[in-house]
């Protein structure tokens, strides 16, 4: 089932290698259609990691749902599967960084490294348990302001995360195209002509 109202997209799939490639292309197309080109690389990296984790570790099946939603200035990408076991990130020595039970031999340890990568490229991420029905793993990316231009990744990411390099400066209206290039030079001769008269009065 595929649905696409406004700036929301959801697709159900089996997390198999060939399908992961298709989902990457679909997500990329939607983000470009929404003028979020600057977020494509990080979004694709994140969704690839989450789907790969489902493919490798989810039980009893590989069915999952990918959701992509743009709300205000945040893009949220989530993957829901039917495995209630929660993933975890690893510490520097292979132990669970969050103190959860289970050692490096646990199959979910591999997914922990993938989630650490998701955390490195995203603004925030998390896991939401759904009881016996599974879980949702999600991450967010800061999006450019609504209607704002997307020129380069450096400009967009900086502006979305920190307010941009121009914080504190007053906005100045743009000059419309077709405006004369030198409108302030016309009174210059009159000022120049007035100077001798003023000088004469002073004498």
- Boundaries of every domain in the chain: 2-162
The reply to whether omega before 159 is within 30° of 0 (cis) is no
Burial category of 125 from C-beta neighbours within 10 Å (exposed 0-12, middle 13-18, buried 19 and up): buried
Taking the whole predicted model, whether its pTM rises above 0.75 is answered as no
Q: Mind listing the pLDDT tens digit of every residue in the chain (203 residues)?
A: 444 446 999 999 999 998 999 999 999 999 999 999 999 999 999 999 999 999 998 888 899 999 999 998 999 999 999 999 988 765 444 444 443 333 333 433 334 467 888 999 999 999 999 988 999 999 999 987 655 544 333 333 322 233 332 233 333 333 343 444 444 344 444 444 444 444 444 44
Distance of CA 6 to the CA centre of its chain: 17
Cα(118)–Cα(109) distance, rounded to whole angstroms?
A: 15
- Report the CATH architecture of 2-162: 2-Layer Sandwich (3.30)
Cα(121)–Cα(140) distance, rounded to whole angstroms?
A: 9
Burial category of 59 from C-beta neighbours within 10 Å (exposed 0-12, middle 13-18, buried 19 and up): exposed
CB 42 within 8 A of CB 97: no
First to last CA, the chain: 92
């Amino acid at each position: 089932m595929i649905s696409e109202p406004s700036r929301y997209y959801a697709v159900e799939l089996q997390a198999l290698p060939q399908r992961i490639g298709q989902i990457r292309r679909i997500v990329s197309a939607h983000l470009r259609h929404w003028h979020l080109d600057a977020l494509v690389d990080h979004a694709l990296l994140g969704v690839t990691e989450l789907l790969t984790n489902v493919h490798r570790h989810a039980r009893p099946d590989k069915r999952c749902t990918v959701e992509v939603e743009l709300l205000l200035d945040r893009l949220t990408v989530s993957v829901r599967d039917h495995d209630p076991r929660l993933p975890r990130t690893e510490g520097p020595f292979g132990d669970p960084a969050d103190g959860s039970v289970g050692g490096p031999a646990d199959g979910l340890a591999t997914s922990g490294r993938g989630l650490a990568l998701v955390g490195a490229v995203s603004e925030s991420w998390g896991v939401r348990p759904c009881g016996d029905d599974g879980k949702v793993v999600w991450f967010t990316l800061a999006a450019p302001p609504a209607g704002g231009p997307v020129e380069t990744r450096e400009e967009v990411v900086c502006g979305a995360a920190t307010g941009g390099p121009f914080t504190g400066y007053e906005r100045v209206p743009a000059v419309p195209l077709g405006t004369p290039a030198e409108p302030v030079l016309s009174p210059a001769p009159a000022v120049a002509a007035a100077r001798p008269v003023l000088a004469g009065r002073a004498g």
